[in-house]
Amino acid sequence: MKTLRTLSQSTLGLIVCLAVGGLCGVFAEPVGQFAYFVGQLYLSVVNMAAIPLLVVATFFGLRQVIALPRPRTRVGTIVGLALGLVVVSAIVGTLLGVLIMPGEHLSAAAHAHLGELVLKSASDAEEVRVTLFDHGGGSDEAANGVLSIADIFPDNFYRALAEGRSLGILTGTLLFGMAFAALSREKTKMLSNVFEGVYRSLETIIAHANLLIPVLVLGVAANLTSHTQSATLDAMSGLLLCFAVSTIVLSTVAIGTIATRAGQPFLRVLGSLKAPLLIGLTSGSATAPIPHTIEAMSGRLGFSRGVVELVVPFGSVFVRAGSALYYTLATVFVANLYERPLGPGEIVVICAASVIAAFVSAGQNGVATVGYTGLVLSLLNLPVEAAGILLVTVDLICEGPRNVLSLLSVCTVIALVSAGLPSERVAAVDTRGTVVELNPVLRFTFTRGQLVLAVGCVVMVASLILVMGIGVGAR
């Protein structure tokens, strides 16, 4: 137990687990598969706690944000920044894709290998349909990736909770949370105490489950190395390299922005966000890092707890900056693969359609996210089915960086909305658990002589006021 606790808090230890997992995937696959199985159990526990925590955190977040100055302006700023960061990610991805042009100069062997993948998977591939609105919404359609109106506005909130539908859960939570926040504190005191107890219990569960983070890292590394073919990686290396570079650049800018707003060094901020970033990178889930992100942004970096508890659940579903970046680069790659020229009009279409696809894919994770690339590809008359087969083969590698960039975008929104006012800040705690003093806004210091002089002036003014009062009364 002590070893796991030390490893889960050590960056070097996690890097060692990553390297050992890669070796296990090549030379000891059964060991790697067992570690991957244990890691999936850990993710199941975290997801089990993350969904109800999303609900309770949104309740508290809405109430606290409404109590802050200018709540409407603040909520409007949150929505505007969320949209802006997704648009920026799409623009950056489109421009880098046009400059680097992944997939343009592939060898004959790479073309042949990708063609074999398409032909091999064509007979087994299922059609992935994406619709903006659907009223039939059966289970078969949900399995095929159809986005129905019931996913956004569920007729049964408990069913949405049981099935883990993030969009429906967030919609129901926001409606109930606004009604909850509108009531007086006297009327909701008992319910608030219940929510507080649930909140702390879920945090305790997650804190103990975090001991398995090293096993999760080892298992994911082993699973990745054992299921990815070197020929496929070589053929799609242009897309993977461009996506990795874009993600690193945007993530660095996001962490730098957070560090500037928090008034802390870059590396300390990175260390504070280590747990949610690792879970986002390895879990394949956008909701699993929610509790760790709330703790890191409010408890360690000192941002407003109310803003954090509102933005993190909302952002985990809707702020899909990583997906927007991925859609643009994947579209450019497929266009180059099929020798489709891209003019200024096509570049604008790619950027705009990727933003729309990112928001339409809200609440989706894993391979289901890849299906929404078809919204962008279809506008350029590119083969959606064949391209989807190729993208699925490397989605296991791209899924983690997508989640990390989206998570950091959410944290950037928090940092920009929490303006650093004294009423909105708490004492930050670094990764070692020690308190980090925040920069005071205004500080008064007096020497002993200055203090005596100030007291004398106050006494003199009080005496003059008293004398004037007596004189006015005598008249």
Q: What is the pLDDT of residues 29-54, one digit of tens each?
A: 888 888 888 888 877 887 777 777 77
What is the predicted pLDDT for the residue at 325? 92
Confidence grade of residue 91 (pLDDT, cut at 50, 70, 90): very high
Please give the residue that has the higher pLDDT: either 55 or 277: 277
Confidence grade of residue 420 (pLDDT, cut at 50, 70, 90): very low
Q: Is residue 20's pLDDT more than 60? A: yes
What is the predicted pLDDT for the residue at 225? 82
Please give the residue that has the higher pLDDT: either 231 or 327: 327
Q: Is residue 320's pLDDT more than 80? A: yes
| Residue in 412, 339, 323, 336 with CA at minimum distance from that of residue 371 | 323
Break the chain into its structural domains and give their ranges: 2-436, 446-475
Confidence grade of residue 60 (pLDDT, cut at 50, 70, 90): confident
Q: Is residue 98's pLDDT more than 90? A: no
Please give the residue that has the higher pLDDT: either 269 or 472: 269
| Contact status, residue 137 vs residue 151, Cβ threshold 8 Å | yes
Q: Is residue 145's pLDDT more than 50? A: no
What is the predicted pLDDT for the residue at 185? 72
Q: Is 36 in a helix, a strand, or coil?
A: helix
Q: Is residue 258's pLDDT more than 90? A: yes
What is the predicted pLDDT for the residue at 247? 93
Q: Directed axis angle between helix 29-67 and helix 274-283, to 10°?
A: 120
Q: Is residue 256's pLDDT more than 90? A: yes
Instruction: Report the alpha-carbon distance of residue 254 to residue 250 in Å, rounded.
Output: 6
Please give the residue that has the higher pLDDT: either 97 or 107: 97
State the burial class of residue 170 (Cβ atoms within 10 Å of its Cβ: 0-12, 13-18, 19+).
buried
The percentage of residues in the chain with a pLDDT greater than 70, rounded to a whole number, is: 76
Q: Is residue 321's pLDDT more than 60? A: yes
Confidence grade of residue 15 (pLDDT, cut at 50, 70, 90): confident
| Residue in 251, 239, 256, 238 with CA at minimum distance from that of residue 322 | 251
| Residue in 3, 29, 2 with CA at minimum distance from that of residue 16 | 3
Instruction: Report the alpha-carbon distance of residue 152 to residue 171 in Å, rounded.
Output: 7
Instruction: Report the alpha-carbon distance of residue 177 to residue 26 in Å, rounded.
Output: 49
Which of 95-109, 155-169, 209-223 is least confident? 155-169
Q: Is residue 440's pLDDT more than 90? A: no
Confidence grade of residue 380 (pLDDT, cut at 50, 70, 90): confident
Q: Is residue 138's pLDDT more than 60? A: no
Q: Is residue 233's pLDDT more than 90? A: no
Could you tell me the CA-to-CA distances from 13 to 19, 20, 433 in Å, in that order? 10, 10, 19
Which of 64-78, 260-274, 417-431 is least confident? 417-431
Please give the residue that has the higher pLDDT: either 212 or 87: 87
What is the predicted pLDDT for the residue at 460? 63
Confidence grade of residue 367 (pLDDT, cut at 50, 70, 90): low
Could you tell me the CA-to-CA distances from 102 to 97, 232, 237, 349, 375 in Å, in that order? 7, 14, 8, 18, 20
Confidence grade of residue 377 (pLDDT, cut at 50, 70, 90): confident
Which of 188-192, 342-346, 424-428 is least confident? 424-428
What is the predicted pLDDT for the residue at 468? 55
Which of 93-107, 405-419, 458-472 is least confident? 458-472
The set of residues, in sequence order, having a beta carbon less than 8 Å from that of 255 and lying 6+ positions away, is 266, 269, 270, 273, 408
| Contact status, residue 415 vs residue 262, Cβ threshold 8 Å | yes
Instruction: Report the alpha-carbon distance of residue 170 to residue 436 in Å, rounded.
Output: 34
Highest mean pLDDT pick, 221-230, 252-261, 268-277, 392-401 = 252-261
What is the predicted pLDDT for the residue at 363? 64
Please give the residue that has the higher pLDDT: either 380 or 282: 380
| Contact status, residue 130 vs residue 375, Cβ threshold 8 Å | yes
The fold of 2-436 is: Proton glutamate symport protein (1.10.3860)
Q: Is 314 in a helix, a strand, or coil?
A: helix
Please give the residue that has the higher pLDDT: either 77 or 119: 77
Instruction: Report the alpha-carbon distance of residue 330 to residue 324 in Å, rounded.
Output: 10
Q: What is the mean pLDDT of residues 230-239?
A: 79
Helices (H), 101-188: 108-122, 139-143, 149-152, 157-163, 166-182
Which of 90-94, 112-116, 251-255 is least confident? 112-116
Instruction: For Cα atoms 442, 448, 452, give the angle at the middle one, nearest 5 degrees.
Output: 100
